[in-house]
Structures are given as C-alpha cells and as structure tokens.
Amino acid sequence: MLRIATLLPDLLGTYGDGGNATVLVARARARGIACEVVEMRRNDAVPTASLYLMGGGEDGPQRLACEVLRASNFGERVRDGAQVFAVCAGLQILGRHFSVEGDDEFEGLGLVDIATRRGTTRSVGDLCAKVDGRLMVGFENHGGVTTLGDGLVAFGDVVRGRGNDGVVDGFRTESLWATYAHGPVLAQNPWLADKILESALGETLEPFTSVADRLYEERCRELSPRSGFEDRRRDPH
C-alpha cells in the first residue's frame, strides 16, 4: 500500500495543487498498486506516509503553514526516509528562511540549504525546465528568488520562465523534490509523476498511456524553444 499525504491543503493549495495527489493516485491504481491519500489539516498530527505533497499558498497562509510544520515531527519523517514533492510556497518553506509580506524574513523548516528573498518583480507565466534530459512544462506565479547552497542540485535548468533565478528551477535531494511549477504540474508531465511514484515505491512501473500524454505533447510543442513562433521569428528563412 502506497500512502501519500497532502500537507495542509487548507493553507497550501492556491493553484489547484491538490491535483498532484489526484494524478499520483490515479496513475498508481492504473498499475494495480493499492494507494491512498490522507490529508493533514491544520489541527492534525503529521500522518505516516511514504510520500508527502506540499502546495503553493498566499503569504499569510504560507507563514502559518510553516509554523504548523515546524512545531510537528515532519522533519523527523523526512530524515527517516519519506519522500517530499513540493511546489512554489512549499519549496520555500523547506529551506532555511524566506521573505513574504514585504522584506520580513521568516525561518523555514531548514530541511535543505536554500534561502528565498523577495525578487524585484513577480514572475507570472509559463515555466519550462530541462529535468534529466526531458522537458518539464508548467506555470509559475511567485515573487521569490531562491539561492541554492553549495553542492545542492537544482531540479532542472530553466528553458522558459524564472524558476529560482532565471537559470535553474527548484532543487533535488535524495528525499526532496521541489519546483516552482505550481498547481497540477504532475498532470501536465505524466513522466514526472511516474518518476516520483517509482522513487516512493522503489520499483519500476509498467508503461501507462492516457489523454495526459497528448496534453504533455501539446504543451511541449507550444512551449518548447525549439519549436513555436519565437524560433521561426528568429530564423530569417
């Protein structure tokens, strides 16, 4: 039984982030793997799970979510080997500190050596990154600029959009996956959903095709720098 826990969807879930849990469960069950999702709401203890999901949120709720998690045993669960997939505000919370509501700095969970400050502009638009040789397509909407500590590996190289800093997006450790692509990024990238499932299960999955594959192909065609009008415009022929 694969147990997936959504952390604080009542605070972190602004952009349809709950979609990532829906996608993971559907894709696991399609392979005949028993799977369940539990939600940790504000007043709940951190449930036992092999994969935790964290979404995006507005400034106030983000700060509150961070306080709730810091007071919990979430950190121990991660150190015990659970996997975490975090997007947007979830990404920022995992780090050492972050700035919201102006320039006030807040202490994060400190599970990874990253720091986020408020950027001079907000980044709103399509976000594409090269992740392990494949294109990840998504959408970002945040004001943060995130700096990775020495030796920390980024989640992907930015092809379009800002991600952490216009060069790389998110970060990846043995147990943590994090990207600025908010909302149901796993719905648009079925291969990434399967990669995370495989990591949480410790096994290789059977191939599975669905309409999501068509969506991924379409978004890649639309957003890839190698196709689309931007390149044609540059090409004098």
Binding site for other proteins (CB under 8 A): 10-11, 13-19, 22-23, 26, 42-43, 58-61, 63-64, 122, 124-126, 139, 141, 182-184, 187-188, 210-212, 214-215, 218
Angle, CA of 50, 13 and 58, to the nearest 5°: 125
Q: How far is the CB of 79 from other proteins (least distance, A)?
A: 28
- Phi then psi for residue 125, to 5 deg, are 155, -170
Query: CB of 58: closest distance to other proteins in angstroms?
Result: 5
Residue 103 CB, shortest distance to other proteins, in Å, is: 16
Task: For strands 35-40 and 2-7, give the pairing.
Answer: parallel
The token pair that represents 186 in the structure block: 């796993």
Q: What are phi and psi of 179, to 5 degrees?
A: -140, 155
Q: Given the complex with other proteins, which of 9 and 95 has the nearer CB atom? A: 9
| Residue among 176 and 185 whose Cβ is closer to other proteins | 185
- For the chain, the distance separating the N- and C-terminal CA atoms, rounded to the nearest angstrom, is 56
- The type of residue at 28 is A
| Residue at token pair 């943590």 | 176
Taking the complex as a whole, the smallest distance from the CB of residue 202 to other proteins amounts, in Å, to 24
- Closest to other proteins by CB, 78 vs 178, is 178
Decide whether 24 or 112 has the Cβ nearer to other proteins: 24
